[in-house]
Chain A
Amino acid sequence: MLNDWLFIGILLVIAPIVPLAATVIPDFIGPRKPSRLKSQTYECGVETEGETWIQFKVQYYIFTLIFLIFDVELVFLYPWAVAFNQLTLFGVLEGILFILILVAGLVYAWRKGALEWF
């Protein structure tokens, strides 16, 4: 079983080498003429104004929260789906009940207007 993961373990070490090499090579063979003007951050051609750290809409936070709860629930459905052969109809309906409770949460979020972007 553990041998199955050996490939992924090695890939995890090898795969970053490709982009790493590609982004490091220009440091050696490319020109290097940094200047103040060149290294300014882009803001539609005018000089950068104020802080980069701007405050964000609270919606990003709400959507991530809703996503998090859905994600946790859905991950638990995967073992249920794999074990489908062994399940009785009752077991399947239990899973459906689990999903329906999730649907209730979605309906609540919808009715409360948490799914609106404004």
Chain B
Amino acid sequence: MGDPVTLIAKWLEGLLAGWGLAEGPTAVVMNLIGVIMIVVFVMIMDVFLVWVERKVVARFQDRFGPNRLGPFGLIQPIADVIKMLIKENIYPQGIDRFIYNLAPLFGLFPVLLLWAVIPISPTTIGTDINVAVLYLVACGAFISLGIIMAGWASNNKYALLGAFREVAQMISYEIPMVISLLIPVILARSMELNQIIQSQNIWYIVAAPLAALVFLISSIAELGRAPFDIAEGESELIAGFHIEYTGMKFGMFYAGELLHALTVGGIFSSLFLGGWRGIGAMTYPIVGTFWFFIKAYFIYWVIMWVKYSLPRIRIDQMLNLNWKFFTPLSLVLLMVTAVLDKLLTGVPMLIYFGVMLAANILIGWGTVLILRKTRKKEAPRVAEPKPIARPDGAPPIPAITPATTSQS
């Protein structure tokens, strides 16, 4: 094996055994070292994600972004961290102090938990539990918990409203996400991410492009990023659930969000883009890490692209999109994939993937037709004149609101 990670692990294990450590404590020490390495690696990457995010948004908005500190402004995030660390911790009036302090922890650590099951190379993976895909969903539960805690403990109406909206959005979009996660599980017959990657001789995005799309969009909604950021809409809720947080406590939510975005990229690439698979990854596992991060950062870039290109959508649009479009669509995809998969047992792989792709294209085409029909029906309703806000007792404006009464 020409793999440094395995080599170091083997060497360490031998060293510990040489010191007379039994098998149990050796496993604990090895896992501890693994945990610390992953946490440190991910946190260092997280600090530089701030730079990546700021630089990319600047390019999207035709600016330079951070460019003063160090080459290309690379030292900027470190300066940011130091600035946040020496800021005052402000405790607003009437907060629930313990929960207020606990919530920022939940902003970041569930995202770190996600990295336990994501394989960054064929041999480098925290742990390969047999329910890894469900584990990814379960970690999301803690994130929504942190948001509701932050909103409730802040003693602020905007924070509470923002938390409610964010959580309602997160749990709604969990449905299409869970359904679209089922499709790679069916294709690979396993929930272990390494197993899913290994069975992707052809990337699953070929067999299930629509499921990949549904997963990506619902993940963006889970992240609460634009266009799904009504929860922190500046014009109405100022900042949403973290309005009362300053300094490093706010920083934890921010770092958690950025890292979560990259993690979504990693999960997406593992499920649909073959994860660490690429040229040379099988013989030199360390090359797999390179491929994994290329794919993960590409998806992260797509998420940023969406964020900085699309306007925010309203809460009713957000819920309609989820319950009336993504949920039925993903259920149809799931059923079609399940039946086709069983009917196609034993056929060559190319035909299998071809039929799956054709089915996806057919479903996509049908969806577009239905959407066009709905648009024709909805267009006159949307174009109807809406009541206009005016002072009480003022005469109605006849030209624009002929018969509608103000009822907002």
Contact = CB atoms under 8 A, between A and B. Distances in A.
A52 B86 contact: no
B127 A67 contact: no
Contacts of A23: 89, 101, 104-105, 248-249, 252
Given A29-B86, A110-B324, A81 B185 contact: yes
Contact of A41 (B92, B186, B328, B331): B92
B93 interface: yes
A20 interface: yes
A41 B34 contact: no
B272 to A, nearest CB: 16
A22 B88 CA distance: 13
A94 B160 CA distance: 43
Overall SS of chain A's interface: helix
Contacts of B88: 26, 30-33
Given A14-B36, A63-B171, A42 B331 contact: no
Of B133, B134, B155, B323, chain A has the most CB atoms within 10 Å of the CB of B323
A78 B342 CA distance: 16
Contacts of B335: 96, 99-100
B338 A11 contact: no
Nearest to A61: B168
Contact of B28 (A5, A10, A64): A10
A50 B94 CA distance: 13
B143 interface: no
A78 B182 contact: yes
A12 interface: yes
B342 A92 contact: yes
Interface string B191-226: 100000000000000000000000000000000000
A84 B344 CA distance: 12
Interface stretch (B13-21, B107-115, B361-369, B388-396): B107-115
A71 B113 contact: no
Contact of B87 (A15, A30, A83): A30
Given A8-B116, A41-B156, A30 B31 contact: no
B76 to A, nearest CB: 18
Contacts of A89: 342-343
A117 B315 contact: yes
Contact of A56 (B43, B90, B109, B164): B164
Interface in B254-285: none
Nearest to B109: A15
Nearest to B341: A84
Given A41-B94, A42-B238, A115-B319, A16 B175 contact: no
Nearest to B84: A26
B82 to A, nearest CB: 10
B175 A84 contact: no
Interface in B39-92: 39, 43, 84-92
Contacts of B156: 41-43, 48, 52
B9 interface: no
B331 A102 contact: yes
A58 to B, nearest CB: 12
Interface in B334-354: 334-335, 338-339, 341-343
Nearest to A14: B35
Interface in B154-186: 154-158, 160-161, 164, 168, 171-172, 174-175, 178-179, 182, 185-186
A39 B93 CA distance: 6
Contacts of A41: 92-94, 154-156, 244
Interface of B: 27-28, 31-32, 34-36, 38-39, 43, 84-94, 101, 104-105, 107-109, 112-113, 116, 126-131, 133-135, 154-158, 160-161, 164, 168, 171-172, 174-175, 178-179, 182, 185-186, 189-191, 238, 243-244, 247-249, 251-252, 315-316, 319-320, 323-324, 327-328, 331, 334-335, 338-339, 341-343
12 contacts: A14-B36, A22-B85, A31-B86, A39-B93, A42-B156, A48-B156, A67-B174, A74-B182, A78-B191, A92-B339, A99-B331, A106-B331
